[in-house]
Amino acid sequence: MAVIQVNDLTYAYPQGRSVGPCSFTVEKGEFLHVTGSSGCGKSTIARCISGLIPHIYHGKMTGEVLINGRSTLSTRMWELSELAGFVFQNPSMQMLGNTVEEEIIIGLENLGLDRAEISGRLEESLGRFGLDSLRGRDPQTLSGGEQQKLALAAITSRRPPVLVLDEPLSMLDVSAATELTRYLSLLSRSGTTVIAFEHRADYLSSLPGVRVMALDSAASVKFSRRRASASCPDCKCGAKPLVISNICVNAGKTRILENMSLTVQSGSVTAIVGRNGTGKTTLLRAITGLQPFEGSVTVNGKKPDFGLVCQNADLQIFNAAVRSEILYRVNNPDMKLYARLLEILGLGRYENTPPLILSEGEKKRLALATVLIRKPEHGVLLDEPSLGQDAAHKHTLMELCAEIASTGKTVILTTHDLHLASMADRIVVLGPDGVTASGRTEDILADDSIWARAGMFVPGWITEDERKGITA
């Protein structure tokens, strides 16, 4: 029996863009993995299935979605929430409670359960997701992986027959993503219908019994590993390396970085990887001087000049159009560079568009442009540039990085996406005690002992080719 029936569904945003039409059915107990490039409407369809569209969105929906035979149009939102649970992309943005316990209780209260039943389900959920020891903690102090588990616990404790997930893995590091995938597989086996909208194909597709549905052809873009800076394969041409020596960073009483030393060659693309909380972002902030530290960070014996592209592009966007955003407070802008940036970053057609209505991926590229237009002397630092970007965009991004590096500048990026890291020239692995290893990408990827020491592992879907660094 089909639990979910989507018939000729279309959705038009008030601004004019539209998604669909699409039709599909999902059987009871099935695990459906929906893939698609960013901006192809995955999130929109996920919201239509859960009923958030049309209940709290103003856009125009046509066609119909039936859950257990009930139309989402005529069923009230709170009833729909009992039929289909929804887990969102960014776990920290969906935490409603002051404590882990409260987070789970809020959803159970709305079901109208009595106190004993709520306690029972609370304990069961905490146990199942291994959150017992965290029950009194503020959800905001948890790691990304723990938060996503909590979000899943809060929804599944309501025991909805259908679970819809919108990009549940995109914010998670390798181990957290693997763990979450395991939970989803367990849920599916226990009879819950699971629909995951996720462009990271690797984890979910490797599960047994998962049906994959592609929303568009773009999703099939394969990664091709490309040597980032072909002009200097061994990175010896870097005349001005970035030298980080013995830096220490404290936040309150906790020490985030301790006596870290690292030399990064110019003219190369370096990826810094490590589990959440190992100080990747802090290191970038220290290099730019935004983070006070002890020790020294120099290029040629002087304080370096790097541009930093933050993880969240919304932090720096406030101008009326893409053009004015890029050129804001730039003295004598290089208009040739400007035109070139628009072209490679795919922003040309948005020159006069208000930046806030761009997609997340586009905003990120815009943020990169605002930094590059300033021509930072020594290079750029990118904090988690792959978040919200699909395979094709990641690929373009790495090409751009290679191009910057080929002019002799340094590009450093942090990421928990090992696909992306495998496209860099060099990888620096941060572990609990600082730099676990640093070296050429192929050497690092090939040495499993390094990853074990950093508390990580190279997942099976990183191909042997990628490990060896063979150019596609």
Partner 1 sequence: MKEKYFSTFQLFLLAFFAALIVVAKIALHLPLQLSGHSGIFWMAIIIVSSRVVPKPGAASLVGLTSGIMAAFLGLGDLGALNTLLSYSMAGVGADLALILLRDPENYFCAALAGVFGHMAKFMVKWIFGMIAGAPAGFVALGLAKALAGYILFGALGGFLGALTLRALRRAGFFTYLMEKK
Partner 2 sequence: MMKQDAYGMTGALSISESSPLRKVDPRTKLALCLAASLAVMLPLQKVAVFFVLYFMFLAWARLLPGALRQIWKLKWILAVLFVVDWLVVSPELAVVVTLRLVIVAGVFAMFFSTTTPSELCLALVWMRVPYRYAFSLGLSFQAVGHINSEWRKILEAQKARGAFSAPSGWRYPVEQVKNLVSLTVPAVVLAAKRAWSMTEAAYARGFESPNRRPYKALLMSRADWFIVSGAAFIFILILSWRLP
> Residues in the site for partner 1, rule: CB under 8 A?
13-15, 55-59, 76, 317-321, 353-357
Among 11, 20, 48, 88, binds partner 2 (CB under 8 A): 88
- Show contacts with partner 2 in window 312-371 (CB under 8 A): 312, 314-318, 328-330, 356, 367, 370-371
User: Which residue is associated with the tokens 């395979």?
Assistant: 391
Instruction: Write the CA distances from 273 to 187, 260, 338, 397, integer angstroms.
Output: 30, 15, 31, 17
Taking the complex as a whole, how short is the minimal distance between the CB of residue 143 and partner 1, in angstroms? Answer: 23
Total chain residues near partner 2 (CB under 8 A): 59
Task: Find, among 221, 230, 266, 227, the residue nearest to 424 by Cα.
Answer: 227
> Which partner, partner 2, partner 1, none, binds residue 370 by CB below 5 to 8 Å per kind?
partner 2
> 225: which DSSP letter?
-
For partner 2, which residue of 17, 28, 55, 128 counts as binding (CB under 8 A)?
A: 55
Residue 113 CB, nearest approach to partner 2 (Å): 7
For β-strands 426-431 and 269-274, DSSP reports them as parallel
For partner 2, give the closer residue by CB, 146 or 202.
146
- DSSP letters along 373-420, please? TT--SSEEEEESTTTT--HHHHHHHHHHHHHHHHTT-EEEEE-S-HHH
> Quick check: helix, strand or coil at residue 52?
helix
Distance CA 450, CA 436 (A): 7
Cβ neighbours of 412 (radius 10 Å):
27
How open is the CA angle 130-136-138, to the nearest 5 degrees? 100
Q: Binding partner of residue 50 among partner 2, partner 1, none, CB under 5 to 8 Å per kind?
A: partner 2
1 forms part of the interface with partner 2 (CB under 8 A): no
Residue 213's contacts (CB-CB under 8 Å, 6 or more residues apart) are 24, 32, 33, 34, 35
Nearer to partner 1, 219 or 322 (CB): 322
Closest distance of CB 19 from partner 1, Å: 13
The residue within the footprint of partner 2, chosen from 35, 37, 44, 81 (CB under 8 A), is 81
Residues numbered 34 to 53 that lie near partner 2 (CB under 8 A) are: 47, 50, 52
With binding defined as CB under 8 A, does residue 83 bind partner 2?
Answer: no
Contact 397, 369 (CB under 8 A): no
* Nearest residue to 400 (alpha-carbon basis) of 327, 343, 466: 343
Paired sense of beta strands 31-35 and 60-67, if any: unpaired
Residue 452 contact partner, candidates partner 1, partner 2, none, CB within 5 to 8 A by sort of partner: none
Amino acid identity of residue 84, one-letter, is A
d(CA 177, CA 179): 5
The answer to whether 460 contacts partner 2 (rule: CB under 8 A) is no
Contact segment (CB under 8 A) with partner 2 among 6-14, 87-95, 167-175, 219-227 equals: 87-95
Q: Which does 328 bind (CB under 5 to 8 A by kind): partner 1, partner 2, none?
A: partner 2
Decide if 427 contacts 445 (C-beta within 8 A): yes
Q: Judged by CB, which is closer to partner 2: 51, or 408?
A: 51
Residue ranges in 272-311 that form contacts with partner 2 under rule CB under 8 A: 285, 288, 290, 292, 307-308, 310
Q: Which residues bind partner 2 (CB under 8 A)?
A: 47, 50, 52, 55-56, 77-78, 81-82, 85-86, 88, 90, 92-96, 98, 102, 105-115, 118, 140, 154-155, 158, 251-252, 285, 288, 290, 292, 307-308, 310, 312, 314-318, 328-330, 356, 367, 370-371, 374
